[in-house]
Amino acid sequence: MKPLNENIIIINCGSQFTQLIARRLREMRVHSVIINWDASAEKVKSYSPKGIIISGGPDSVNDPDAVTIDPEILGIGCPVLGICYGMQLMTKLTGGTVRTSPRREYGVTEIQKAGGYNSSLLGENIPSKFKVLMSHGDNVCELPEGFTATSTTERGVISSIEDKERNYFGLQFHPEVIHTEHGNYILHSFVFNICKCSGDWNLSDWVNNTIESIKSSVGNSKVVCGLSGGVDSSVSAVLVHKAVGDKLQCVFVNHGLMRLNEPEAVMKEYESLGLNVKYVDASDLFLKELEGVTDPEQKRKIIGRLFIDVFEREAKKIEGAEWLLQGTIYPDVIESGLKKGAALIKSHHNVGGLPEKMNLKLLEPLRDLFKDEVRKLGKIINMPDEIIERKPFPGPGLAVRCLGSITKERLDTLRAADAIFREELKNSGHYGGIWQAFCVLLPVRSVGVMGDSRTYSEAVVLRAVNSQDAMTAEWTRIDYDIIDKVSKRICNEVQGINRVVLDVTSKPPATIEWE
């Protein structure tokens, strides 16, 4: 489903910052679409782009199997901005030379604007010297014909280039991160002064346009949706229900890995929204297949495979189903969409897998939105706060928070501790302001004392973080009195736990989840 607003196309070459580019544009009320590096020029052209941004990436452009783009994309006719790897790739594709440097540049570096050149990106409002974030091992050493270097580092490395005649621009540094001074100004110059965007994107108009687009795409066929109970799948289901009504058929698979009393609560919420949902309890099947499995990635693969099997079996019973609805959002696309050139981060996102197996067309109405925008969308379409304020929850559920072997008893222990932690945060008024708060059960036993007896029980970790988009996260400073109350309650009320510890690690270097 193609967005109806004017678009800046962001070509993802594997950078961890690709999502931040889109967020910066959204803050300017400019709509963007992230697509994979191997997209054809025809696909890019189909979006009628106002401009194209080629992201950074971990490869070297000189590697034989390096990520590259369709060269014809550069000839579409709209302005192109290459960032970091994107600048090097543009240089190579247009006849310049990139070489591996004996000294790599990582971190904040001072650059200097080229004297006497009236740069379109590095305008007069930017001082002659300013600090930027560099992250590269290759350098542009020979510019293609028509390009001019507009800035250099202290060591003389080219840090930005322009070809005004063809509207090609390159930045060796990352303007999208907060470490780069005047980064927003540079992006603003590209999208407004060069691409001539209007900056009139807003979520309310997006909702109306998307509903009409869904109606047109689906027609008289049916849509099947696998609901998880999370914000993304729930909001996407309600949005599509507004467009196609009862032609949306939902399936809620209880894999036995949800939080305390969550399956029952979720089903009541879906009933109140008027969604047609079939409940499937497959918890025994999942627990049987996970028995004795301790490797995190193997857990994820088993859960993903079983979910597909169960969901596919139920979806085949729905006559006339031609579409598969998924709650894919921007972070899913970024972290799961790259086919090569990036390390595995997660394997439990919504993107991929099901459509090929089930021979259904894919409907992903939220794939251009961030999590906070999905919540705002939920409010616009009048969804209850109980759903849209639900904390992010991983696809494999408690399987990635129950470290080591998974049994019903250990899951029940984790569920009970997790419920206490969240309950006390709600009672103290802190829960709403935290991005994510949960418990992790460790396969570690320690000696304790309860009453007159020694115990040898497991430990639980309290994890609370704040984040804007889950790409980075800061551990939350919770009042020690609250932590103390949570710890006492867990040890007193949850059998099998005699020790509670607090995770005070941010992302990076840690991830939000433990597995």
Residues with catalytic function? 84, 174, 176
Both tokens of residue 152? Answer: 């250099």
The answer to whether the beta carbons of residues 133 and 175 sit under 8 Å apart is no
User: What distance in Å separates the CA atoms of residue 2 and residue 180, rounded to the nearest whole number?
Assistant: 32
Nearest one of 273, 282, 231 to 248, comparing CA atoms: 273
As a three-state string, the secondary structure of 335-383 is HHHCCCCCCCCCCCCCCCCHHHHHCCEEECCCCCCCHHHHHHHHHHCCC
- What string of DSSP letters covers 6-22? -EEEEEESS-TTHHHHH
**Cis peptide upstream of residue 508 (ω within 30 degrees of 0):** yes
Residues 231 and 350: their CA atoms lie apart, in Å, by 13
Contact 326/350 with Cβ under 8 angstroms?
yes
Six-digit token pair at 495? Answer: 């059998």
Q: Which of 235, 375, 335, 327 is nearest to 19 (CA)?
A: 335
Structure tokens at 377: 């969308």
